[in-house]
Each structure stands twice: as C-alpha cells, then as structure tokens.
C-alpha cells in the first residue's frame, strides 16, 4: 500500500480532466452515427447523467479508502468532484437543448415532475461546491469552506433518488446505487462525530 501511495503522489491530476472529455465526446459521436438506438438524445442524456453520478460516488469513496484500506487518493478528490459537476452540467444541457427545447416546458417539467425537481435540486446544491473548488476560495472561506462542502452529501443522495425515480418502479440498478451512497455516508459517520467532538477541522487537498 505504501508503494501504491507513493505512485499515486507522482501522478498529476490533469490527465483526469483530459480523460473526462472522452466519454461525452464518444456518446455524441455514437448518437449522431446511430449507435444509441431509436432515441439517441434520451440515451445520451441518461448515459451522461449516470456518468456524473458514478464519478460523484467515486469522489465519496476516497475517504473510506484512506481510512479503512490505507490508500491515499485525496489529491484526486477535487478533480473528481469537478468532473462530476461537468458531466451533470452536460446532462442538463442535453435535456434542455436537445430534448425538451421549449423554455416554458422546461419550467413546467421542473415544477410538475418530482424526479426532475429532485435532480435540479441536486444540481443547484453542487453549484457552490464547484464555484469554490479552487485554492483562493478555500483560503478566503477558511473553516466555512469545509461546512459549505458538506452540501455534497445531500446532493449525492438527491442524485441517487433522482436515478431511482427516473427508472420508474423498483429496479435493481438504481437501488444499488442508492444503497451504495447510503453505505458510503454511514462509513463517514463515526469519524465525523469524533472530529466534531474534538473540534478538529481536517485539512483539505489543494491538489
């Protein structure tokens, strides 16, 4: 594990950002070339949204991996969070620009369809997280930066609920995602309680 951690410290974060461009580019190409079925816009919308949820869940795995397995990937957490936000923005843009297209219908859907309302709430919660994920904001906010970034937890839960409701009925795949999110949050509880009792504010990655 020490060798893995030393190797991880030598890996820069910028390849993650470049690699993040590949999946949506592929989905767009597959859509225009007829490889995404009879409704390529819906398929692209769902695939990119699921990718955003997957990357957001991956960012939540970093702390349990360090705590329980000794694998320190903390330097990649910010990149994963920003990539997840990027995918969710693309998911939203595909829905607005390519799917619904009509502004009045978009507003009506947000108010009338609960799964869209919940998904939009998750997106809104992620906006301040993405907007403050740079070193100057971390320094300026100080202790409040940590408190602000607790918004990731309700955001990911809402994202999981959005996925469950989107699939309609009790399908196994979205329930597994929601269960995984719940497990990751439970794994954080004992340590979070100890830190609050000690008044400790953990250091955040600046990588």
- pLDDT tens across 157-184, in order? 999 999 999 987 788 999 999 999 999 9
Cα distance between residue 162 and residue 7, in whole Å: 37
Which has the higher per-residue pLDDT, 43 or 196?
Answer: 43
The domain limits of the chain are: 2-198
Query: Which tens digits make up the pLDDT trace of 15-65?
Result: 999 999 999 999 999 998 989 988 999 999 999 999 999 999 999 999 899
Asked if residues 157 and 185 have their Cβ atoms less than 8 Å apart, the reply is yes
- At 138 the pLDDT is 81
Listed range (66-70, 143-147, 173-177) with the worst mean pLDDT? 143-147
Q: Which residue has the tokens 């999946």?
A: 23
- Does the structure show a pLDDT above 60 at 114? yes
Work out the average pLDDT over 62-73.
Answer: 89
The CA–CA distances, whole Å, from 186 to 22, 80, 183 equal 33, 21, 5
pTM of structure: 0.87
Rounded alpha-carbon distances, angstroms, from residue 96 to 30, 93, 105, 113: 20, 5, 10, 15
């Amino acid at each position: 594990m020490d060798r893995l951690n030393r190797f991880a410290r030598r890996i820069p974060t910028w390849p993650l950002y470049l690699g993040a461009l590949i999946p949506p580019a592929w989905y767009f190409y597959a859509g225009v070339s007829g490889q995404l079925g009879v409704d390529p816009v819906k398929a692209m919308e769902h695939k990119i949204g699921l990718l955003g949820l997957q990357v957001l869940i991956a960012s939540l795995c970093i702390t349990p991996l360090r705590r329980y397995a000794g694998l320190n990937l903390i330097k990649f957490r910010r990149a994963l969070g920003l990539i997840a936000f990027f995918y969710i923005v693309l998911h939203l843009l595909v829905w607005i620009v390519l799917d619904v297209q009509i502004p009045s219908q978009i507003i009506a859907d947000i108010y009338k369809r609960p799964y869209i309302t919940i998904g939009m709430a998750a997106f809104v919660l992620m906006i301040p997280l993405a907007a403050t994920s740079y070193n100057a904001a971390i320094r300026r906010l100080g202790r409040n930066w940590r408190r602000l970034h607790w918004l990731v937890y309700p955001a990911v839960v809402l994202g999981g609920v959005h996925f469950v409701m989107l699939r309609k009925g009790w399908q196994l795949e979205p329930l597994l995602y929601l269960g995984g999110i719940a497990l990751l949050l439970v794994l954080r509880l004992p340590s979070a309680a100890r830190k609050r009792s000690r008044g400790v504010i953990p250091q955040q990655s600046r990588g």
